[in-house]
Structure 1
Amino acid sequence: SKAIFDLECSINDSRMTVLGGEFAVAMMIEGNWNALAKLASNCPSLEQQLGLKIMTKQTKGRKQEAELLPYEVDLVALDHPGIVHHLANFFSRRKINIEELATSSYAAAHTGSAMFSVHIVVSIPADVHIASLREEFMEFCDTMNLDAVLEPIKL
């Protein structure tokens, strides 16, 4: 963050986590063109100084094409391959965007069973009938033996 601050840029959005034994961060950095170009050109030396792998990519603002409803999914299940794939496919087939997704694996407290949890934020188009979507989602979860809820995000 010091290199970003030193060039008078700012971090607009970021996500940080530790995956395995590695630190990972994604940042949306804003600044004037010269400062951003200088920051990108400094990346190789920053990688060596900090012991990190740095990748940069220019982005543009996101266009809001339609009214979208923010919902969240919280899911817990016995861990098995394909959970994220099937969830992503469920929402993708219905043109529902996944905005955020976080997963974790853990051992159940009393049984030691391998468990898997998922938290997803989705954007549901306003023309989607929520009751029907919720029913389809619950049927999907029953078929996959997943315990989940689909709820609106309340601020």
Structure 2
Amino acid sequence: MTTHHTNHQLVLTAIGEDRSGIVGELTQLVSDCNCNIIDSRIAILGNEFTFIMLLAGDMASISRVEHTLPAKSMELGLLTMMKRTSSHQQGEFSAGYTLEYEGLDSPGTLSKVTRYFAAQGVSICSLKSDTFEQDDELHMRCELEFNIPVDVDIDNFKVQFEDLSHALNVDYIFRRIR
């Protein structure tokens, strides 16, 4: 695909009962409309399948997806949403990190961690959290990928997170990834 096709983008989200073939149907529709999938995520939440895609293409291709997806969604029993967007403009950051934390499941932990990140001006790029049973207790774990802005002191950020981790009773690991 030539670069002039990538000046229009569409975020497409599909949710429905998990069953074989949904990804193939949706990606075929995108291909038939001459769009390119430039980013995507799939998750199974409960018995529900979720698929998020960022599509790129020329105006006609994006419009074709917008007009053909509703009928395909009904055929497949999916709830879908679409929103036009543009290329993400990355702010200046000094480094990218992952944070993995784990502990006993306690309501509000993820909210406190993400509020801490927001208060520091830290951009979360991706987040995955879940719960699991261990030793007859419910535990939670979370993985975040984030960028540290150039004006944030990473050492101070880590020290303050250490205090938060003690208050939340979670074990964690920071890793620099870029």
Q: What's the TM-score once normalised by structure 2's chain length?
A: 0.82
TM-aligned CA deviation for residue 128 of structure 1: 2.0
Alpha-carbon distance in structure 1 between the residues aligned to 2:173 and 2:153: 16
Q: Aligned letter for 2:97?
A: Y
Q: Helix, strand or coil for the counterpart of 1:8?
A: coil
Q: Helix, strand or coil for the counterpart of 1:90?
A: helix
Q: Helix, strand or coil for the counterpart of 1:55?
A: strand
Q: State the partner residue of 2:169.
A: 145
Q: Percent identity among equivalent residues?
A: 24
Q: Aligned letter for 1:115?
A: H
Q: State the partner residue of 1:132.
A: 156
Q: State the partner residue of 1:31.
A: 57
TM-aligned CA deviation for residue 68 of structure 1: 3.9
Which residues in structure 2 correspond to 1:116-131 (within 5 Å)? 116-131=140-155
Q: Helix, strand or coil for the counterpart of 2:83?
A: coil
Unmatched segments (≥5 aa) in structure 2: 1-26
Q: Is the 8 A contact 2:131 2:140 kept in 1?
A: yes
Q: State the partner residue of 2:99.
A: 73
Alpha-carbon distance in structure 2 between the residues aligned to 1:6 and 1:89: 42
Q: Is 2:109 the counterpart of 1:83?
A: yes
Alpha-carbon distance in structure 2 between the residues aligned to 1:138 and 1:151: 14
Runs of 4+ in 1 over 4 A off after TM superposition: none
Q: Deviations over 1:81-123 (max 9, x none)?
A: 1011001111111000111110011101xx1210000000111
CA RMSD of aligned residues (A): 1.2
Equivalent residues, number: 152
Q: Helix, strand or coil for the counterpart of 1:89?
A: helix
TM-aligned CA deviation for residue 69 of structure 1: 1.4
Q: What's the TM-score once normalised by structure 1's chain length?
A: 0.93
Q: Is 2:77 the counterpart of 1:48?
A: no
Q: Is 2:137 the counterpart of 1:113?
A: yes
Unmatched segments (≥5 aa) in structure 1: none
Q: Is 2:120 the counterpart of 1:94?
A: yes
